[in-house]
Amino acid sequence: MVFAVEVLLIDLSVPLFIPLLISTATATIVSKLLYSGQIFHLITSEWFVPALPYYILLGILCGFVSVYNDPRCE
């Protein structure tokens, strides 16, 4: 996660990052104390293999869209 934050927010400094980490840890602890059950309900238990090429195509398409919309790639 730290790498993703550094990539997305290049001008992020350490004094700004420490409160972000503290608030994330506090929110995680509070949410676990208030709701100890499973957060997500999984509907499927196995992969639907014939759909795998569509997921790969979707990933490639999303990569092209993100590169196309990135203002640094102009």
* pLDDT recorded at residue 53: 93
Task: Find the radius of gyration of the CA atoms of the chain.
Answer: 19
pLDDT digits (tens, 9 = 90+) for 10-57: 666 677 778 888 988 898 888 888 887 777 777 777 878 899 999 999
Enumerate the domain spans of the chain.
2-73
Question: What is the spatial distance between Cα 32 and Cα 12, in angstroms, rounded to a whole number?
Answer: 28
